[in-house]
Structure 1
Amino acid sequence: MVGNLLFLAALLSIWAMLLYHMFLAWGGYLYSNWVEQRKREPWPDREWPKVSILIPAHNEAIVIGNTLRAMVALDYPKDKLEVIVINDLSSDRTGEIVDQFAAQYPFVIPVHTKKPEGGKGKSGALNQGFRRSTGEFIAVYDADNTPERAAIKHLVHGMLEDDKVGAVVGKFRVVNARKNLLTRFINIETISFQWMAQAGRWHWFKLSTIPGTNFLIRRSVIEQVGGWDDNALAEDTELSIRLYEEGYDIRFYPLAITWEQEPETWKVWFKQRTRWARGNQYVIFKYVPRLFTMKRRRIVFDLVYFLFTYFLFLGGIILSHVLLILNVLGVIKMTLPGPFLLIWLLAYMLFIVEIWITLAIEKTELTLKNIGVVAIMYVSYSQLWLPLVIRSLWISAVAAVKKQEVKWDKTERFE
C-alpha cells in the first residue's frame, strides 16, 4: 500500500513538471510570433545612451580575441560605448591580448585585478568592473560570447520602452552546436529550456531571469541592490530575485542574440552543470526562508519552482526509479492497477513533442538529425541530471561545513 502511494506521488511530480514545460512551450510559441513582427520594425530616431559592457575573464586566452572582435564590430556609437574586460588574475595570455585591443581601440578598457580582491569568482570580477564603468546602462557578456552586431541596440531599445524594466535579457545560441553529440544535446536544451522557457514565462507571467550573459541592467538598479553577491555561484539568478524585490521587472527580448561556446567533452559539461546546480541551490537556501515575507508574489512562484525542481521533482524521479527496480526484483509488490507503461510512453512522447515544437521556431534546427537526437535525449542526456544534482548537493554540503571561500570555477574553452 505504501509503495503504491509513493509511486503515485512520484508519477504526479514528474507529470506536473512535463505539463508545466509544455505550457511554457505554448506560451513561447505565441511570443515568438510577436518577435517575428518586431524584426521588421526600423530603429527609432533617438540619442543612444552610454553603455558599459563588462566581460569577466579568467584564463580566457583561447576565446577572448574572438569576443573582443565581436565587441569592436557592434553596431553602436563607439563614443557611447566602453568595453571593460576584467582580467581576473589570469595566468595565460588573456591580459596581453586585452591590452593589444586596448592599444588599438580606446573604448576597450582593461582592468587587471590583484590579490587579495582578485581571483574570487565572476561576481567579484563584475563588481570590480562596475566600479570602473561610467555608462548609464551595464551589459554583461561571458568571455566566450560573440554577440550579433545589433545585440546592444536591441537590449537598449527593449529597456527604453518601459520604465518599470530594470534589466533586459537576450537569448543565446550555441556556436559549436554541430561539433559532436554532446553539443547537439546542449544546443537542443538551450533552445528548449532557455529560449522557449524564458519566452513562455515572459508571455504568461511577465517573469524572466537574468542569465550569466547577454543582458542589460540599469546602473541605478545595480547601485540600489548593492552589486553582485560575491558568494553566489549563480550570481545571475540571485541578482534577479533582488531586482524583483526592489519592484523592477526583467524583460525577455530575444531579438538581442549572442553566440557562445558550449562544453565539448562530458567531463567539462558535468563540472559546468554541477556549478550551475550549486548556484541555484544557494539561491534556494538563501531565499526560501523569506518566502512568505517577500514583496513580489511573482518571484515567490519562481522560488517554489526551484524548490520543486531540485527537491520534489528530483525526489519523484529517484523514487519512481527505485520502486520500479524493487518491483522487478520482487523486493516489493506493486498492486496498483493501471497502464503504467502507457503512462511512461505518453510522458516520453510529451517530452519529444514539446522539443519538436521548440525546434520548429528556430528554422535551421528542425532537421532529421536533430529529430533523432531528441528521440534518444530523454533516456540518455536528461537522465544525467540525477547524479549531477545529487553530486552538487553533496559538494555544497561539504563546502558549507568547511566554510570554503567561493573562487573561480570557469568552464574550459576549446579551440
Structure 2
Amino acid sequence: MFALIWYIPTTIIVLSFVYGIPSLYSVIRNLKEQVWIKIENNKNPNNPETSLVAILLPFYREDRESIRRTFQSIARQKYPKDNLDIFIILENNDIETYNIVKESIGILTDVGFKTTIFINKGSRRGKAHAMNNLLKNISGRYDVVIVLDAGDTIYDDRYIYKVSKLIKNGYSIVGTKVYRISNSVIGKLSYIDTMLWYNVGLPGLTKLIRVPLVSGEGLALSMEFLNMIGGFPEVLAEDAYLSIKAYQYGRRIALLDSIVYEGAPSTLSSYVKQRVRWYRGSLQCLKDVVIKYRKVLRCRTKIALVMAYLQPIALMAPFISLLIVSLSLFVEIPSITITIAKIELVSISLAPIYIIINGYRDKVVVLAPLNWIFQGIIALIALIPIRIPWLRTSSRSFIDVSSIHQITLRQ
C-alpha cells in the first residue's frame, strides 16, 4: 500500500516530460517562426477601412508612474485619432487612482486621443466584471477591444493597427508577447520565464492543442465575439478562459509577433501572489473543461484543453524531484521514481544553456533552476484551498524603456 503512494509523484514528473516534448520540438523546428504572425510596418494605417477601436484600461490602486507609462505608450501609437477611444475604468472608492488619472490624462488628450473615465458603481468584483459593466454601454459602437493594464508598455508604435488588421481578417482574439522585466533578481528571473514561454513553450503547446493561450496584457478581441460570449469571463484567469470560449464557438486566435513590456513583481510576496493567481486560474479552467463543458466540447478538444490547463501540476515536478532525491537518502523509494526524479533535475539544470545561447549573459541565469523548483512550491500552494487576500500583483518594478533592448534576447 505504501509503495502505491509513489505513483503520484512519478506521474507528475512523467507529466512534466510530456510537456517537455513539445518544447523540445519547438526548439528543433524553430516553431516560434511559424506560430507568431509578422505584419510589416510599411503599411499605412490611415485608410478609410481602419477599424473602430476601444482601449480598456482597468485600473485599481495603481501608482503614478505605472499609469503615466501606460498613457505614454498609447500616446506613441500611430493610429487615426478619430477611430480610437480610450476608456479608463476605475472603482468608485479608489480616489487616489482617480486623482492620478486626472493629473496624467493630458498625456493622451494633448495628442488628440478621446478619453473617458468610467466609474464602476457598487462593490468591486474583479477586473472582468468592471470591464463588462463598461461593455454594456459601448458594445454596439466598436469593432475591436484592446485591454491594457497599468504599467504596460507597447514597444511597437503600430501595434493597434496590426491587431485591428488581424481581427478584420477573421481572428476573434489576438494575443502578443508579454515580457515581465526589471533589473532586480526577481525581474530577471521573470523575464527568463516569459522569454522561454513565448519563444519555446507556447509555440510547442500551440502546435499540440491548435488553439493558443493568450495573456491578458495587450489582449485584443473582436466586439462581435465578446457580445457572442456575453463579455469577459468573470473568473480568476479570464484570459486563459478565452481559449475555452474560442474552442466552443469555433473561433480563431492569432499570436501577433509584437511585444508588450510589463514591470515584473518587485517583491517576493507580490511574485508569489501573481503565480498563485495564474496557477489557480488555470486549474479553474481545467475544472470547467472537465465538468461544465464536458457535453459541449468534442472529446479531442477536451483532451487538448486539459493538456493546456494541467501545466500547474507539471510545474510541481522540479520540487517533487528534489524532494524525492533528498528523501531517498533516508527512506526506501522505488528505483524508477528515483531515476526519473534525477532525470528531471538534470534537465532543468541544463535548460539555462538555451538561454545563454540566445544571448542572455546575466549571471542570474544560474538561479533559473532554483526558481523553477520554487515555482513548484508555489504551484503546490495554489492547490491548497486557503484564501489569500487579493491576489493581484500589487507591487511592480518600474521599467526603463530606453534600456529595454539591452536585456531582450534575440527574437
The reply to whether TM is greater than 0.5 is yes
* 3-state SS of paired residue (2:197): helix
- Secondary structure (helix, strand or coil) at the match of 1:212 reads coil
In the TM superposition, residue 13 of structure 1 has moved relative to its aligned partner by 2.9
| Partner in structure 1 of residue 402 of structure 2 | none
CA 1:201–1:356 in 2, change beyond 3 Å: closer, same or farther? farther
**1:210-225 to 2 correspondence within 5 Å?**
210-225=214-229
Q: Which residue of 2 aligns with 1:138?
A: 145
Quote the offset at 1:169 in angstroms.
1.0
SS in 1 for 2:327: helix
The structural deviation recorded for 1:222 is 0.6
Compute the displacement of 1:203 (Å): 5.0
Could you tell me how far 1:88 is from its partner in structure 2? 1.9
Aligned residue among 115, 120, 127 for 1:122: 127
Superposition pairs of residues 44-193 of structure 1, within 5 angstroms: 47-62=49-64, 63-89=66-92, 91-100=94-103, 101=105, 104=110, 105=112, 107-116=114-123, 119-133=124-138, 134-148=141-155, 149-161=157-169, 163=170, 165-174=171-180, 176-177=181-182, 179-193=183-197
- Give how far 1:279 is off: 1.5
Counterparts of residues 160-309 of structure 1 (less than 5 Å): 160-161=168-169, 163=170, 165-174=171-180, 176-177=181-182, 179-202=183-206, 206-230=210-234, 232-255=235-258, 257-290=259-292, 292-295=294-297, 299-306=301-308, 308-309=310-311
In structure 2, give the amino acid aligned to 1:263. Answer: P
Mapped partners of 2:244, 2:150: distance in 1: 24
C-alpha change, 1:346 and 1:92, in structure 2 (3 Å) is same
- Partner SS state of residue 93, structure 1: helix
In the alignment, what sits opposite 1:326? 327
Deviations for 1:213-233, whole angstroms, at most 9, x for unmatched residues?
112111111111011233x11
Q: Is the 8 A contact 1:61 1:92 kept in 2?
A: no
- One-letter amino acid of the counterpart of residue 285, structure 2: V
2:379 aligned to which of 368, 376, 389: 389
- Residues 287 and 13 from structure 1, CA distance in 2 versus in 1: closer, same or farther, beyond 3 angstroms? closer
> 8 Å contact 1:169–1:210 — kept in the other structure?
yes
AA of the residue aligned to 2:60: H
Give the 3-state SS of the residue equivalent to 2:86 in structure 1: strand
TM-score relative to the length of structure 2: 0.82
The residue that corresponds to 2:16 in the other structure is: 14
Q: Measure the CA separation in 2 of the matches of 1:408 and 1:129.
A: 23
Contact 2:322 2:345 in 1 (8 A): no
Aligned twin of 1:348: 348
> Whole-Å Cα distance in 2 between the matches of residues 126 and 12 of structure 1?
40
Aligned residues of 2:176 and 2:214 also touching (Cα < 8 A): no
Check the 8 A contact 1:25/1:354 in 2, yes or no.
no
Aligned CA RMSD, in angstroms, stands at 3.3
Structure 1 counterpart of 2:325, which letter?
A: L
Greater shift in the superposed pair: 340-349 or 258-267? 340-349
Read off the aligned partner of 2:190 and give its amino acid letter: I
Q: Deviations over 1:82-135 (max 9, x none)?
A: 01010123535321233342765551111122224xx21111111123234331
Question: Partner of 1:48: helix, strand, or coil?
Answer: coil
Distance 1:296 1:130, change over 3 A: farther
Aligned partner of 1:388: which letter?
I
Distance between the aligned counterparts of 1:346 and 1:222, measured in 2?
A: 45
Structure 2 residue runs of 5 or longer lacking an equivalent are 399-411
Deviation of 1:333 (Å): 5.4
Query: Runs of 5+ in structure 1 lacking a partner?
Result: 361-365
The alpha carbon displacement at 1:341 in A equals 8.8
Residue 411 of structure 1 corresponds to: 394
Give the superposition deviation at 1:136: 1.2
Please state how far the C-alpha of 1:199 moved relative to its aligned partner: 3.3
1:148-187: CA deviation from partner (whole Å, max 9, x where unpaired): 31111111122223x2x2111122233x43x111111001
Q: Which amino acid aligns with 1:242?
A: K
Distance in 2 (CA, whole Å) between partners of 1:210 and 1:172 is 10
Q: Distance in 2 between matches of 1:26 and 1:296?
A: 31
Report the Cα distance in structure 2 between the residues aligned to 1:33 and 1:295, rounded to whole angstroms.
Answer: 27
Distance 1:341 1:298 in 2: 30
Q: Alpha-carbon deviation of 1:389?
A: 1.7
The number of residues matched between the two structures is: 387
SS across alignment from 1:20 = helix
Bigger shift: residues 34-43 or 50-59: 34-43
Asked if 1 retains the 8 angstrom alpha-carbon contact of 2:128 and 2:232, the reply is: yes
Q: Secondary structure at the match of 2:214?
A: coil
1-structure distance, mates of 2:397, 2:13:
40
